[in-house]
A and B are shown apart, each in its own frame.
Chain A
Amino acid sequence: MNKNELWERLNEVFRDVFDDRKITVDENTTADDIEDWDSLEHINLVEAVEQEFRMRFKMKEVSGMKNVGEMARIIEERGK
C-alpha cells in the first residue's frame, strides 16, 4: 500500500462515516475541522478505519491520537 492509496482509502472512510462526499482530510486534520466529529462519531470512525485496513488500534493509540496524520502513521505500520 503506497501513501496515495492509503489517503484515498482513508478519505473514503471519512466520507462514509460522516455521510459527506465533500470531505477531504490530510495530515493536520483534527476533530475541530469536521463539524460532526464528536466523541460518538469518533468511536464509529475508529471502528470503520479498523475495518477498512483490517487492523486494530491499541487502546493507548486511540487515546493518544492528535490528528489524522498520526492515525495514518499507525495504519502505515500495521494496516493492510
Chain B
Amino acid sequence: MKELMYPFDSRYILKNRKKIRKELLSDKSERLKKKIAVLGGSTTDDIVSVLDLFLLDNGIEAEFYQSEYNKYWEDAMFGNPELLSFSPDLIYIHTTSRNITDFPSGMSESREQTDCLLKKQYEHFEGMWQRLGEVYDCPVIQNNFEQPLYRTLGNRDAWDFHGRVNFISRLNMMFYEYAQSHENFYINDINYISAQYGLKEWANPKYWYMYKYAMCPQAIPEFSFNLCNIIKSVFGRNKKALALDLDNTLWGGVIGDDTVEGIEIGHETPLAEAYLAFQNYLKEQTQLGVLLTVCSKNDEENALDGLNHPDGVLKPEDFVSIKANWEPKDRNIAQSAEELGLLTESFVFVDDNPAEREIVSMQLGVVAPEMNAPEEYIRTIDRNGFFEVTQFSSDDISRNDMYKANLKRTQSAAKFESYHDYLLSLEMTAEIEPFSPVYIQRITQLTNKSNQFNLTTRRYTQNEIEEIAGSNDYITLYGRLSDKFGDNGVVSVVIGKIKGDELHIDLWLMSCRVLKRDMEYAMMDSLAGECRKRGIKTIFGYYYKTKKNSMVSRLYEQFGFEMMSEDENGDSEWRLEVGEYQRKNDVIKVVTDSVSVVN
C-alpha cells in the first residue's frame, strides 16, 4: 500500500489506522499467520497497532501478546501461563534508555565501580535472553538504547566513563557482542532511528510523564516500520530483486538523445556524482545477494553503451537480466521474473517516471517507491528496508553468479536435440545428505522463503530445524546441486516424520532456480532408498494448496504415488508403497556418504 511505503505520512497513518487496517484486510490475500509476543518496558499499544499495519502490508497477519506495563522482565524470567500458552513465533523486547535502572552518578566513582554497574545492567538483559531461549526457542528482537535526554557532563558525557552517553554506548556494544555470537537474536536499532528522527522530538518527556511512552507518538510509525522490517525479513518476506530503469535513474540524461558522452555519471557534475553514489549503493546490494535487472525503454545497444560508461560502477555483468526494448515495462518485469524463477512480487521497481511506476504497480502489484530526486534515491530505497539482512548465508554472496550461470544454461539448452540430452550435457552432480550443521541456516532460510515449489509451505525456525536434525523420529534430506556452469548451493529440502513403518512427508520444497533439472527425482530416489534401509513400508505425501504452489499439485503423482483424497480446497493426500518405487533420475550423479539411493 502506497501510504505505508517510505517516505510515508506518519500523522496520516496514526489518525487513520482503523481505516487502513480495514482496507488492508479487504484484499483477502493469503497471509502468513504469526504470533508475536511484545514484552514492554514502556507503553506498547500504539507501537503494536501500527506494527500490525506494516506487517499486514508485508503479507503477515500477526496475533499479539503484550505484557502488562513494564513487566517485560517478569514475563521472561518467571514465566507466565498466558504467554506460555500463547506460544509465540517471535518475541520482541521493547526496552529503552528509560529502563536502565542505574547510571553512574557524579564524578566520584572509580572505573571499576562503573564497570561493575555496567555489568549488572547487562546481565539483567542477558539472563532474560538466555531464559527466553530455553523456554520459547524462537527468534528474539531486542532494542538497543537511544541516547539520553540530557548530558550532565556536556560534551564530556560522550567520552568520560562517568557520563550517561558513554555508559549507554558501552552497554550497546555489549548487546552487539551478544548478537554476534547468537543465532536468531536481532537488534532493533532505535539508537539510529531516534537520531534519524531527531532526538529532541523523539525524547520529548511529556509523553513519558503522561502516557509512559518512551518516544513521542508521532515517531511511532517510523519506529514500527523499522521493527517490521526485521520481522518480515525473519519470516522470509524480503524482496529479492530490483528492476531498474536507466535514463534518469542510473544516470542523468537520456542516452538515446544525449549519447554515451552526454549522460551524467561520474565526478564531473553534482548530478553525475549523485548517480554514481546510487550505482555504488546498488553494487553493494549485489554483494548481499540482491539481484539487479534492467527494465528500460531503450534500444539494447544504447543501454549497453550506457552501462559500459567508463565512469560508471555498474557494468552489464552486474545484472542477471537486461530488458532494454520498447515493450511495456510490466511485461518486461514479468518476463524477467519468469526467466529467473521468481515471483513478480519479489521485485522492487525503480523508475524516475511516475507514469511507469503507476502502470507497473497497477498491473503487477509490484512495489514502486517514489523516486523524485537522484540525491534521495539511496535514502528512499535504503529506508524502505526491502532487503533487510537478518539471516545471511554464503549462498547470498554468490547468488548473482548462480542466476547468471542459470541464464547461460537456458541459452545452451537451445542447442540440443532433446531436453534429456541437454540435461546430460550439464554434467550435474548432487550431494544429498541428512541435515548437517553447516547448512542449517540455509535450510531454515529456504523453508521460510520458498513458495512455489513447496508442497506444505510449512515455515520453520532455526531452532526447530536443529531439533529435527538431531531427532531419530525424522528422515531429513537436503540436496545441493552443481553442474558444469557452477554450484547452485542447497536447493531442496525434505522432512519426513517416522511413525512405525510409515513416513509422513511434512515438508518438500525446492528452489525454483533448479526447476526442470530432475532434481526432485534425485531427491525422491534418495528418500525411497533411505526408507527401505530403515524398514519403512509406506510413504504419505501431502499437498496443501496456496495461491502460489499450484505447480506442484501433481508432484506426488509424477513420483508414482496414489491419491487417497482431495478436498474442495484442492488439498490432497497421497501414498506410496516403498517396495513398488522405481528409480527416476538418470541425469544427475548423486554423491553421498550416508544415504542409500534406491536402485
Contact = CB atoms under 8 A, between A and B. Distances in A.
Interface of A: 16-19, 39-40, 43-44, 47-48, 51, 59, 62-63
B78 interface: no
7 contacts: A19-B19, A39-B211, A40-B45, A43-B46, A43-B211, A48-B11, A59-B209
A53 to B, nearest CB: 13
B210 A16 contact: no
A40 B66 CA distance: 14
A63 B207 CA distance: 12
B210 A44 contact: no
A44 B14 contact: yes
Given A18-B18, A43-B217, 20 more contacts: A16-B15, A16-B16, A19-B16, A19-B19, A40-B45, A40-B46, A43-B211, A43-B213, A44-B14, A44-B46, A44-B217, A47-B14, A47-B15, A48-B11, A48-B14, A48-B15, A51-B11, A51-B15, A59-B209, A59-B210
A63 B438 CA distance: 58
B14 A59 contact: no
A46 to B, nearest CB: 9
Contacts of A51: 11, 15
Given A43-B211, A47-B217, A59 B206 contact: yes
A37 to B, nearest CB: 13
Interface in B230-247: none
Contacts of A19: 16, 18-19, 22
A39 B218 CA distance: 17
B206 A44 contact: no
A16 B218 CA distance: 17
Given A40-B46, A43-B46, A17 B15 contact: yes
Contacts of B11: 47-48, 51
B209 to A, nearest CB: 6
Interface in B193-212: 206, 209-211
Chain A binding surface, main DSSP class: helix
Interface residues of B, number: 16
B18 A63 contact: no
A31 to B, nearest CB: 15
B291 to A, nearest CB: 40
Contacts of B210: 59, 62-63
Minimum-distance CB pairs A-B, first 5: A19-B18, A48-B15, A40-B45, A59-B206, A51-B11
A63 B211 CA distance: 10
Contacts of B211: 39, 43
B42 to A, nearest CB: 13
Interface string B206-226: 100111010001100000000
A19 B14 CA distance: 12
Interface string B1-31: 0000000000100111011001000000000
A39 B213 CA distance: 13
Nearest to B20: A19
A27 B209 CA distance: 27
A44 B209 contact: no
Nearest to B18: A19
Contacts of B14: 44, 47-48
A47 B209 CA distance: 16
Most A CB contacts (10 A, CB to CB) among B15, B22, B209, B213 go to B15
Contacts of B218: 47
A35 to B, nearest CB: 13
A44 B217 CA distance: 8
A38 B36 CA distance: 24
A32 B267 CA distance: 64
A59 B217 CA distance: 14
A19 B22 CA distance: 10
A52 B76 CA distance: 41
Nearest to A51: B11
Interface centre among B22, B46, B213 (most CB of A within 10 A): B46
A52 B291 CA distance: 44
A48 B14 CA distance: 8
A17 B17 CA distance: 8
Nearest to B218: A47
A59 B14 CA distance: 20
A11 to B, nearest CB: 14
Contacts of B19: 19
Contacts of B213: 43
A13 B269 CA distance: 48
B14 to A, nearest CB: 6
Nearest to A36: B18
Nearest to A17: B15
Contacts of A44: 14-15, 46, 217
Contacts of A40: 45-46
A42 B19 CA distance: 17
A59 B22 CA distance: 33
A19 B19 CA distance: 7
Nearest to B21: A19
A47 B19 CA distance: 17
Contacts of B16: 16, 19
Contacts of A18: 18
Contacts of B206: 59
Interface string B327-351: 0000000000000000000000000
Contacts of A62: 210
A17 B213 CA distance: 20
Interface in B262-282: none
Nearest to B11: A51
